[in-house]
């Protein structure tokens, strides 16, 4: 019989058990990434993220694992449920704590439940149902309002197999590589006016004597990481608060996920050939580039677009990556060739009436999101067929 155990730190499970189930180089589900969040203190009970990761074993064999957190707020999730929390409060109910299966501070869709490779499809579906039942039982033990799975792929997104969950549609804007040979090849798919606008943006970078350089993994010095961390904090301070992550998190990833970590630095030749004025951090797996964080010392015309988007596109073309996920939100990405895509989350609320209300809400919202996505597709810069 499978045993379902929950752990208050991922190191209690261990890298071997976790990564043996992680049959992907998707960076955010790797033990190294989740461990760096906890080891650095970026994810901790004092920050409102209490790990309670699930490991399922059968005898000595680990057969499933899933990241899981008990939370007393909704920050760092990017699937917004503040209005649900307000509705609970207005009705004299507690919305927090809640259980969340997610990658903290990381709105990148991908696997969330890891299953042993030898399981058949039927066994995977049965085990997924058993995992959901165990998580809902844990929610009851903690008097949690519910459980939420964010940016899902895989068996947790099998709506026919998971009828007790409500599914919520969202959208992001991703770039897809259609066998482009270079950036100009990509631009040739644009209408003339849109192509001219984008080239004008890139020309502004040249006119300001700014150049860019990607530095990867083990090549990153402590000084360069500190420089990037300053950029990262500047971005959040503009919003009136500190960033979620601390500097030791980035340093640990530089040491443990070196092959998948890149920083694109921007240098102002008028200022210094060696001191960067901006930087953007990326992760990479075998076919996707993920844009995560950015910041700049000063305002430069079009520097954000160049550093975060165009340099990333060039990196994808050069390394033959198939997709570029530049981060959540931002309709301004549409005119730069990033296409609207679906993202999905699942939700279960213990309160029956609120569960029904959320079901109605997500159904109505899905219709509106689909209409919006169709309107956004009409604004893409590509030549009309």
> With 80 as the cut, is the pLDDT of residue 17 above it?
yes
Query: Of 292, 321, 350, at which residue does a domain stop?
Result: 321
Residue 313 lies in a domain: yes
Reported as a pLDDT band with limits 50, 70 and 90, residue 337 is very high
Same-domain status, 193 and 164 = no
Same-domain status, 7 and 85 = yes
pLDDT in tens, 229-253: 999 999 988 888 888 999 999 999 9
Stretch (H or E) spanning 31: helix 31-39
Same-domain status, 12 and 140 = yes
Residue 369 lies in a domain: yes
- Whole-angstrom CA distances from 371 to 46, 67, 327, 344, 367 are 41, 33, 22, 16, 6
Per the CB < 8 A criterion, the answer to whether 242 and 230 are in contact is no
Reported as a pLDDT band with limits 50, 70 and 90, residue 328 is confident
Residue 326 lies in a domain: no
> With 90 as the cut, is the pLDDT of residue 265 above it?
yes
pLDDT in tens, 104-159: 999 999 999 999 999 999 999 999 999 999 999 999 999 999 999 999 999 999 88
Decide: residue 153, CB within 10 A, 0-12 exposed, 13-18 middle, 19+ buried: middle
Picking from 28, 217, 22, the residue whose alpha carbon sits closest to that of residue 106 is 28
Same-domain status, 33 and 86 = yes
The residue ranking higher by pLDDT, 193 or 162, is 193
What is the Cα Rg of the chain in Å? Answer: 22
Same-domain status, 89 and 111 = yes
pLDDT in tens, 283-319: 999 999 999 999 999 999 999 999 999 999 999 999 9
Residue 20 lies in a domain: yes
Alpha helices, DSSP H, located in 238-310: 247-256, 303-305
Same-domain status, 73 and 197 = no
What's the rounded mean pLDDT across residues 42-56?
97
Residues whose CB is less than 8 angstroms from the CB of residue 156 and which lie 6 or more positions away in sequence, other chains included: 101, 112, 113, 128, 132, 149, 162, 346
Q: What is the pLDDT of residue 121?
A: 94
Same-domain status, 132 and 182 = no
Same-domain status, 33 and 165 = yes
Which residues sit opposite 216 in a β-bridge?
262
What's the rounded mean pLDDT across residues 266-287?
91
Same-domain status, 212 and 126 = no
Domain extent, residue 345, equals: 3-171+341-378
Q: What is the pLDDT of residue 169?
A: 98
Handedness of CA 168, 170, 174, 178 (dihedral sign): positive
Q: What is the pLDDT of residue 269?
A: 85
> With 80 as the cut, is the pLDDT of residue 86 above it?
yes
Q: What is the pLDDT of residue 162?
A: 87
**Range in 95-104, 159-168, 194-203 with the lowest mean pLDDT:** 159-168
Residue 334 lies in a domain: no
What pTM was computed for the model?
A: 0.95
What CA–CA distance (Å, rounded) separates 338 from 325? 9
Q: Report the CATH number that the domain containing residue 161 is assigned in CATH.
A: 3.40.630.30
> With 90 as the cut, is the pLDDT of residue 38 above it?
yes
Residue 331 lies in a domain: no
Per the CB < 8 A criterion, the answer to whether 305 and 269 are in contact is no
Same-domain status, 114 and 216 = no
pLDDT in tens, 148-168: 999 999 999 988 888 899 999
Q: What is the pLDDT of residue 142?
A: 97
Same-domain status, 166 and 115 = yes
What CA–CA distance (Å, rounded) separates 122 from 343? 25
Q: What is the pLDDT of residue 240?
A: 83
pLDDT in tens, 211-234: 999 999 999 999 999 999 999 999
Residue 156 lies in a domain: yes
Picking from 174, 173, 107, 110, the residue whose alpha carbon sits closest to that of residue 324 is 174
Number of domains the chain contains: 2
Q: What is the pLDDT of residue 312?
A: 98
Residue 330 lies in a domain: no
Q: What is the pLDDT of residue 108?
A: 97
Same-domain status, 126 and 251 = no
């Amino acid at each position: 019989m499978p045993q379902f155990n929950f752990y208050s730190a991922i190191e209690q499970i261990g890298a071997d058990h976790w990564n043996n189930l992680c049959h992907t180089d998707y960076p955010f589900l790797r033990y190294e990434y989740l461990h760096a969040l906890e080891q650095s203190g970026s994810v901790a009970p004092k920050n409102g993220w209490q790990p309670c990761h699930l490991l399922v074993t059968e005898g000595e064999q680990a057969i499933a694992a899933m990241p899981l957190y008990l939370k007393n707020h909704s920050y760092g999730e990017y699937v917004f449920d503040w209005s649900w929390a307000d509705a609970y409060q207005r009705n004299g109910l507690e919305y927090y704590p809640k259980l969340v299966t997610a990658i903290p501070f990381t709105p990148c869709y991908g696997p969330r439940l890891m299953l042993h490779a030898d399981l058949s499809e039927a066994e995977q579906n049965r085990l997924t149902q058993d995992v959901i039942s165990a998580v809902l039982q844990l929610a009851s033990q903690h008097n949690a309002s519910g459980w939420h799975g964010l940016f899902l792929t895989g068996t947790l997104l099998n709506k026919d197999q998971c009828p007790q969950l409500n599914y919520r549609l969202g959208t992001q804007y991703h770039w897809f590589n259609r066998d482009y040979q270079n950036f100009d090849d990509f631009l040739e798919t644009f209408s003339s006016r849109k192509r001219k606008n984008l080239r004008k943006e890139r020309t502004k970078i040249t006119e300001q004597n700014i150049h860019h350089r990607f530095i990867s993994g083990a090549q990153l010095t402590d000084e360069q990481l500190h420089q990037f961390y300053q950029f990262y904090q500047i971005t959040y301070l503009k919003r009136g608060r500190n960033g979620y992550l601390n500097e030791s998190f980035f340093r640990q990833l530089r040491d443990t996920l070196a092959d998948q970590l890149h920083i694109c630095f921007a240098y102002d030749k008028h200022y210094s050939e060696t001191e960067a004025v901006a930087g953007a951090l990326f992760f990479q797996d075998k076919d996707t580039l993920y844009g995560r964080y950015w910041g700049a010392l000063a305002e430069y015309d079009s520097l954000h677009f160049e550093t975060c988007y165009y340099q990333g596109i060039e990196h994808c073309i050069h390394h033959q990556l198939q997709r570029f996920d530049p981060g959540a939100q931002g309709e301004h990405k549409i005119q730069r060739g990033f296409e609207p895509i679906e993202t999905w989350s699942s939700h279960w609320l213990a309160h029956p009436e609120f569960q029904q209300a959320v079901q109605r809400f997500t159904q109505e919202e899905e219709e509106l999101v689909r209409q919006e996505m169709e309107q956004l597709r009409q604004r893409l810069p590509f030549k009309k067929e």
